[in-house]
Structure 1
Amino acid sequence: MTGAGRFAKGRLAAVLLAALMLGACAGFGGSLSCEANPPGSSELARFHQALENLSTGKRPRAVTILHLGDSHIASDRLAGDLAEFFQTRFGDGGRGLFPPGIPFEYYARRGFSFTASPGWERENSLRPEADGPFGLAGLSAQSASRTEWMRLDAAEGKGFSSVIVDVWASPESGALRIALDGRTGARIETGGQGFQRIELSGGNARRVELSPAGDGPVRLLGWGAAPGKSGVTYESHGIPGATLGVMEKWEESAVAAELRLLQPDLVILGYGTNEGFDDALDVAAYERRLDARLAWFKALLPEASFTVIGAIDGARGAGCAPPNLAPLRAAQKRAAEKAGAFFFDGAAAMGGDCSIRDWAKAEPPLAFGDHVHLTDEGARLLAEKIYAALTAAYDAQLCRAQKSLF
């Protein structure tokens, strides 16, 4: 090949690479931005490096996002939209683990359906009298009866390459039967002490069914299935009414084990609404609690990036936000900055103080009449803003690389 031919071939490769990057340069919503240091450039650098390695084929395993919070993600509105945005762009790496069974009435995860018999003893770490232990989901289910069962079904095209079940074992624990697509279930012993993870090959099954073998109690902390594809895994756990303090009820050894196995590249904390509506809240004590929790996560996950979502706007009665909501949000921002975490101001993204009332009056409504929770349309709009903020620095880096080719 002549020198001119080699140059033309190299130029063509550069043009093709630039074309692949063009979507990144457009950004979310189509606006070009090659800003040198957009917000999140340093705080999210490890997460963005993981995305780059995934996109260029240097990373064989999925990039994992763990999102913990309250009712704003419990119904899978906000988290489900974020999962969709990341997985549409970077590939569907699944939704990770779910709480066992049906933890509360409107629990949902897109692409999956859950059914369970009524006899399980369900525990919620939010309740003062809750009987633990609890893992990352903050919820558990226990039974010793072989007549009890729970079932997880995946939508078309979401078969499982592997099935995972997390249990809390004791010397009295019984065995567990795990059946795939209705076949005769494998019997798994769960006796022992403390956290245990069971992992089986899924063989591209679309249904998983669990039931105690009947020889002792089985306590389930979480379960789920992996699709066997590269991409982004978006695992989310939300409990209606939860505050950051709910984590203090979780069993640290179980949570630490789950975190080390999950190895999230990005951890998102989405608490604050319920604290902000507490007129007796000690904001300084809350900030210290958040400082300590972020430090705990960072010690366990030194290679991860972290994001704190500042509490979204809310209103009570005829007024606007309750008095502690703005001070709490300021405390969240300070704690994030001290920890080197990225802070996203949920209220500012909505339009600031009293914006929740405008969202409720919008057509179609973006918020419900309780002036706390978002509708499907409102959650998607806020998710778009969060996704854009989480990927702005990544997109700017790709955009600058694309421009340098010309």
Structure 2
Amino acid sequence: YALAYARELEPVYDAVFVDEAQDLPPIFLRLCFKLLKDPGRLVYAYDELQSLRGVSLPSPEEIFGKNEDGSPKVRFDDTGHPAPRRDIMLSKCYRNSKPVLATAFALGFGIYRKPSHGTGTGLVQMFDRAPIWEDIGYRVRDGALRDGSAVTLDRTEDTSPGFLEDHSDPDDLIRFITFRNADEQTDWLTEAIAENLNKDELRHDDIMVINPDPISTRLNVEPVRSRLKEMGIRSHLAGVDTDPNTFFRPGKASVTLTGIHRAKGNEAGMVYIINAQDCHSAVRNLASVRIGLFTAITRSKAWVRVLGFGESMAMLKAEYEKLKARRFELQFTYPTSEQREQLRLIHKDRTTADLKRFRNRDRHLDDLLYELESGEVQIEDLDGETIARIRNVLME
């Protein structure tokens, strides 16, 4: 790092403000701190729930280091002296309605996800400190926020003002729609966008289309763009058809299509999330995949349409239906510290070697299934212990 080799850094700024700090390496914040004039002020805002790197931001003691006497250069805890608050948790959400925000949390954490064989819970991640739920605007309706306890959480009128819900039904604010294939999804999406523009009086820059998987975005949005072009509707892929710093096209009537990384930090009245089936399950870090879905949903200032196809989309929609049936309350058993560690191990990022090994296993399993189906191998050819183990795993 340049900071480690710099002999002397000359203070330059009176104040530095950093947004989306969860996506920046800690060394960047340390550099900003070093460049402050005395008594400088560094303000950094971050949201752990939108960290697409799967890494939490370290404590200020870790980020900024220690003085020669061993005391932290920066600390946010109570010093005992009257002073402005230094660590501020924002509990009130003005952008998202309660149904939209609760949906983002429920799917992002896997609150109503079908329990997995390995953990006995559908959760894919959880805060280590239970009180954080109250810090970010939830209240305990029933149970208790402690390890191993059943708890029911909801948002209050104070933390989720009802101005959107006052004029719109939840079924209008957020909808999950399952299609048979990608073509049906494209047909429905483009017709919906045309209706937004021609009947609903939305502007082009009121609409955002998000593909959750950044790797496949360019390929997956091409059919949508082609269909929109045939309908006389201009569109652009953010960061590809525009320079890196341009998301919407001010002054031009163009619908924005984007991957999840480009979507961060932006918002729109109507958000369409396509190919959401990719967010139901994953070989690699499922926690990061679900956080991507959380981030996509919370880009909306009003309406969200979550689109996808296949069985995975149907299961994702089933999670939403459970939340909706519970009036957008979050009901779950708070995992113990051991269970939280297990979640981190199971849903951690996978290495290239891990992914290669999984693909090899899939290929061998496909070969075995083909041989069984074709009759080349009979079930009797497998030893009894192997058959029993397979049966036990599938039954569980």
**Under TM normalisation by the shorter chain, which class is it?**
under 0.3
Normalising by structure 2, we get a TM-score of 0.26
Determine which structure has greater relative contact order: mean sequence separation of CA pairs < 8 Å that are 6+ residues apart, divided by chain length: 1
Please report the TM-score for the alignment, with normalisation by the length of structure 1: 0.26
